[in-house]
Amino acid sequence: MQHDPHAHTQVTEVALPAELTEPLPDDATPAMLIARTAAETALGVPGVHHLGGTVSRAADELRKRLGRSAGTAGVQVDDEDGTFAVQVSVIVTYPRNVREVADEVKRQVAAAAGQVASAPTTVDVRVLDVHGPFDDEPSPVERAATAVGDAVQDAAKATSETTKRVATATVDATKQAADATAEATKRAADATADVTKQAAEVTADVTKRAADATVDTAKRAASATAEATKQAADATADATKQAADATADATKRAADVTADAAEQAVDATTATAGRVHEAASDALDRASEGARDAADTARDAASSARAAVVDEDTATPVLASETAADAAVRAADSAEDAAQDAADAAADASEAARAAARDADQPTDPTTDRP
């Protein structure tokens, strides 16, 4: 145990109580650490016989059981608004000066507590008794205090046992409650299954009725569709018959128009042939007349030639010969032209006749005259 290095009192080694030699728990609070430090420090001060009396130790034990404070035998530590209040109860050894021992305990405990506490601390030392040479035997008061302490410990054990029994009863009650809950849950599940089954049956029945209604509706719709189709077919047949009648009438009228057009074409062809015949006759007449004119011209030229030969005047024989020759040439040209005109006229008349024949052979398209 380390004490204040500045202390001027003699430090002696003392045997610590068993409760001070046990290690502190891992969850020890600062108050518990201060209490352990204050107890060890106070026991090391010369003149201190032991900490606390029997009654004081019993009261400390009771307070500790009730959770009112943290401490050890003869030392109590209270947390008062962030300040640790340390109270140390000592028994002084005779013939030490009680005041000097109390002051030294206060000084050393304050120094030791200040080293381990993170908050301000106050120390109060109480001297409970003086231990003399004839105080080895316990007094009636100490025996009574010891009895009280034993009673407190027995009460604590009884409380622990009672707590244990209560915990066991709580576990049993919890188990019974869990069993009851499981049973209730099972019954609820069975009831839910029954309700679900009934709902499924109702749903199936409703679905069947809906399907039957759908089938009936489909049948009625099919019947209505068949009736409408029959009516449409009858209407289509009537319309087809009317269209066929109209087509037959139109075809008859077209045939009549075609016959009239053919008759008119025959008449036109006949008229054309007459006109072609007349044109050919005219052309032949003009060719004949031209030929006659050419012949007359040739005869005139020949006469002129013969006159020129028998003319007694020989002054211009060559000129007369040339004139007769020219006249003969012109007459030949005129005859050739007349012959060519006659041939052209005959060809035109022949082509007109062939064209009229082709027009008469080709039938008239009835669609062009269809109303």
pLDDT (average), residues 294-299? 71
- pLDDT higher at 86 or 22: 86
Q: What contacts 167, CB < 8 A, 6 or more positions away? A: none
Say how far apart CA 113 and CA 215 lie, in whole Å: 97
Confidence of residue 315 (pLDDT cuts 50, 70, 90): very low
Residue 127 has pLDDT above 80, yes or no: yes
CB 75 within 8 A of CB 87: yes
pLDDT (average), residues 134-161? 68
Say how far apart CA 36 and CA 75 lie, in whole Å: 8
**What average pLDDT does the structure give for the chain?**
76
Within 10 angstroms of residue 104's Cβ, the number of other Cβ atoms is 21
Tens of pLDDT, residues 140-152: 556 666 676 677 6
Confidence of residue 97 (pLDDT cuts 50, 70, 90): very high
Within 10 angstroms of residue 79's Cβ, the number of other Cβ atoms is 15
Which of 33-42, 122-131, 154-163, 276-285 bottoms out in mean pLDDT, i.e. has the lowest?
276-285
pLDDT (average), residues 7-13? 51
Q: How high is the pLDDT of residue 113?
A: 95
pLDDT (average), residues 332-341? 73
Tens of pLDDT, residues 226-239: 887 789 778 878 87
CB 269 within 8 A of CB 313: no
Write out the DSSP string of 260-286: HHHHHHHHHHHHHHHHHHHHHHHHHHH
